[in-house]
Amino acid sequence: ELKVEQNPLFLSMQEGKNYTIYCNYSTTSDRLYWYRQDPGKSLESLFVLLSNGAVKQEGRLMASLDTKARLSTLHITAAVHDLSATYFCAVELASGTYKYIFGTGTRLKVLA
Amino acid sequence: DAGITQSPRHKVTETGTPVTLRCHQTENHRYMYWYRQDPGHGLRLIHYSYGVKDTDKGEVSDGYSVSRSKTEDFLLTLESATSSQTSVYFCAATQGALYNEQFFGPGTRLTVL
């Protein structure tokens, strides 16, 4: 059974600080997705990582994928309050199935 | 949101009653999904569809059924609602192309009393 584990589950950080969210998964999938959810809202796509070594950056967020370690990271640089949200990673169950398993999410709060 | 709507957006119902949630998309996405979101569990897949009349179970499908008679509509039915089905339900869709990122609807908050 595919498991997708995120840590930490909760993260409170000061503005201007750096931090990393980790996403570990238990299959050989080479596709990993990051989503953001604001409180009371829906999910929106942040990054699509399609292969080992993939790195994507958008503003203060950078995501990477290591398929050999079955690990993805979401790095936050110089956090600002607007980044406060819940971040989910998701993995395709098996290549070509188009079924996705989500992690439990990391709730990030950036304090001014 | 890639043109995905859900109805109703909020519903309160009583235990034992049937409930149908509707998801409608305008982008001709091939794959559609129903998830439920509960505190501490993230999103869990209930059912998904890989084409008209083609559906499959997810990890928490007991007590739910789905139907997809048209590309644009995916219905989720709770045959006899229970309090454990109180949740926020999200519909999602993806084209099934290279990136396969899912686009999500706004969610339906369902309360079963």
A31 in contact with B, Cβ within 8 Å: yes
A38 in contact with B, Cβ within 8 Å: no
A2 in contact with B, Cβ within 8 Å: no
Residue A2 pLDDT exceeds 90: no
**Bridge partners for A11 per DSSP:** A108
Residue spans of beta strands (DSSP E) within A1-112: 4-7, 10-14, 19-25, 32-37, 43-49, 55-58, 61-66, 71-76, 85-92, 100-102, 106-111
Q: Over range A64-87, report the average pLDDT.
A: 96
- Specify the pLDDT at position B96: 75
The full set of domain ranges for chain A reads: 4-111
Q: Which residues of B touch A98 (CB under 8 A)?
A: 31, 48, 50, 94, 96, 100
Cross-chain Cβ contact B42/A33 below 8 Å = no
Tell me, rounded to whole angstroms, the distance of Cα B40 from its chain centroid.
19
Query: What distance in Å separates the CA atoms of residue B8 and residue B69, rounded to the nearest whole number?
Result: 19
pLDDT in tens, B29-59: 999 999 999 988 889 999 999 999 999 999 9
Q: Which residues of A touch B40 (CB under 8 A)?
A: 104
pLDDT in tens, B74-99: 999 999 999 999 999 999 999 877 77
Q: And the tokens for A89?
A: 């990673």
* Contact residues for A60 (Cβ-Cβ < 8 A; gap 6+): A76, A77, A78, A79, A80, A83
- Map out the domains of chain B with their CATH numbers: 4-112 (2.60.40.10)
Chain A closest-CA separation from residue B34 CA (Å): 11
Arch. (CATH architecture) of A4-111:
Sandwich (2.60)
Best residue of B5, B10, B37, B94 to probe chain A, by most A CBs closer than 10 Å: B37
